[in-house]
Amino acid sequence: MKISNTKECWLLRLYVAGKTPRCEAAEANLRNLCEEYLPDRYSIEVVDLLENPTLAQRDQILAVPTLVRKLPPPVRRIIGDLSNTERVLVGLDLRPGSVPTTEYKH
């Protein structure tokens, strides 16, 4: 089910700390979400803070894994393994409320 109707390109940056199970889960969950909700309209940059610790200051990263939506504006951040799809979609503003959560029957 595709929810977002816009054709803009999404730039997503995922900050991780090595190959921990939580960081690997976050990357896999992010890729799955993007394929389902943003096909052919996204770019993911994975930043390993164990290799480049100074990059954490760029986006004020205090915990990992952290997802930063750089484009489209405004910048948004989500901390965690991104396993709660609903929370991630709301956090990324991919669900502007246009999809009802319950059905109404007459």
List pLDDT tens digits, range 26-84.
999 999 999 999 999 999 999 999 999 999 888 889 999 999 999 999 999 999 999 99
Query: Going by C-beta distance under 8 Å and a sequence separation of 6 or more, which residues neighbour residue 48?
Result: 16, 17, 18
Per residue in 11-37, pLDDT (tens digit) is 999 999 999 999 999 999 999 999 999
Show me where the domains of the chain are located. Answer: 10-91
57: exposed, middle or buried (C-beta count within 10 Å: 0-12, 13-18, 19+)? exposed
Q: The domain 10-91: what is its CATH number?
A: 3.40.30.10
